Chains A and B, each alone.
Chain A
Amino acid sequence: MLMFIFRRLLQTIPVVIGVTFVVFFIMQLVPGDPAVLLAGEGASKETINGIREQLGLNRPLLVQYFDYLTNIFHGDFGTSLKNSQPVLDEIMVRLPITMELAFFSILITIILGMAAGIISAIKPYSLTDTGVMLVALLGISLPSFWFGLMMMYFFSVKLQILPVAGWDSILHVILPSLTLGAGGAAIVARMTRSSMLEVVRQDYIRTARAKGLRERVIIYKHALRNALIPVITVVGLQFGSLLGGTVLVESIFAINGLGRMIVDAIRMRDLPMVQGGVLMASLIFVIVNLLVDVFYRFFNKRIELN
Chain B
Amino acid sequence: MTEKNKPILEVKGLKTHFYTKRGVSKAVDGIDFTLKKGETLGIVGESGCGKSMTSLSILRLIPSPPGKIAGGQILFKGKDLVSLPEDEMRKIRGNEISMIFQEPMTSLNPVIPVGEQIAEALRLHQNMGKKEAWTKSIEMLKLVGIPSPDKRAKQEPFQLSGGMRQRVMIAMALACTPEVLIADEPTTALDVTIQAQILSLIKDLQTKLGMGVIMITHDLGVVAETCDSVAVMYAGNIVEHAATEYIFTNPKHPYTLGLINSLPKIHEDQEELQTIEGSVPSPYNMPIGCRFASRCPFEQPICHAKQPELVEQADGSKVRCWMYTDKWTGQVIEKEAVQ
Q: Are the CB atoms of B99 and A210 closer together than 8 Å? A: yes
Q: Are the CB atoms of A210 and B120 closer together than 8 Å? A: no
> Which listed residue, B90, B108, B110, touches A212 by the CB 8 Å rule?
B90
* Interface status of B95 (Cβ within 8 A of chain A): yes
B interface residues, how many (CB within 8 angstroms):
27
Q: Are the CB atoms of A204 and B108 closer together than 8 Å? A: yes
Tell me the total A-B contact number using a CB cutoff of 8 A. Answer: 69
In residues 44-93 of chain B, which contact A (Cβ within 8 Å)?
59, 61, 90-93
Chain B residues with Cβ below 8 Å from A210 are 59, 61, 93-94, 98-99, 101
Q: Are the CB atoms of B93 and A203 closer together than 8 Å? A: no
Distance A302 CA – B106 CA, assembled complex (angstroms):
14
Point out which of A211, A222, A226 has the most chain B C-beta atoms below 10 A from its C-beta: A211
Chain A residues with Cβ below 8 Å from B112 are 221-222, 225
Q: Are the CB atoms of A211 and B158 closer together than 8 Å? A: no
* Interface status of B172 (Cβ within 8 A of chain A): yes
Distance A186 CA – B158 CA, assembled complex (angstroms):
33
Q: Are the CB atoms of A212 and B94 closer together than 8 Å? A: yes
* Interface status of A10 (Cβ within 8 A of chain B): no
Q: Are the CB atoms of A212 and B111 closer together than 8 Å? A: no
* Interface status of A127 (Cβ within 8 A of chain B): no
Q: Which chain A residue shows the least CB distance to B182? A: A210
* Interface status of A301 (Cβ within 8 A of chain B): yes
* Interface status of A214 (Cβ within 8 A of chain B): yes
Given A203-B101, A203-B103, A214-B90, answer yes or no on A209-B61 (Cβ-Cβ < 8 Å): yes
Q: Are the CB atoms of B111 and A300 closer together than 8 Å? A: yes
Chain A residues with Cβ below 8 Å from B124 are 211-213
Q: Which chain A residue shows the least CB distance to B125? A: A212
* Interface status of A207 (Cβ within 8 A of chain B): yes
Nearest-neighbour CB distance to chain A for B31, whole angstroms, equals 20
Chain B residues with Cβ below 8 Å from A202 are 106
Chain B residues with Cβ below 8 Å from A140 are none
Q: Are the CB atoms of B93 and A299 closer together than 8 Å? A: no
A interface residues, how many (CB within 8 angstroms):
21
* Interface status of A48 (Cβ within 8 A of chain B): no
Mask for A14-51, Cβ within 8 A of B = 1, else 0? 00000000000000000000000000000000000000
Nearest-neighbour CB distance to chain A for B125, whole angstroms, equals 6
Chain B residues with Cβ below 8 Å from A225 are 111-112
Given A206-B61, A210-B98, A226-B110, answer yes or no on A302-B125 (Cβ-Cβ < 8 Å): no
* Interface status of A284 (Cβ within 8 A of chain B): no
Chain A residues with Cβ below 8 Å from B59 are 210
Mask for A114-151, Cβ within 8 A of B = 1, else 0? 00000000000000000000000000000000000000
* Interface status of A208 (Cβ within 8 A of chain B): yes
* Interface status of B121 (Cβ within 8 A of chain A): yes
B residues sitting closer than 8 Å to A (CB atoms) are 59, 61, 90-95, 98-99, 101, 103, 106-112, 120-121, 124-125, 156, 158, 169, 172
| The 7 A-B residue pairs with the shortest CB-CB distance in the complex, in nearest-first order | A212-B93, A211-B94, A212-B94, A203-B106, A204-B109, A203-B107, A212-B90
User: In the complex, given contacts A204-B107, A207-B101, A208-B109, what are 17 additional A-B residue pairs having Cβ atoms less than 8 angstroms apart?
Assistant: A203-B103, A207-B109, A210-B61, A210-B98, A211-B120, A211-B121, A211-B124, A212-B91, A212-B92, A212-B94, A212-B121, A213-B90, A213-B94, A213-B120, A225-B111, A302-B110, A302-B156
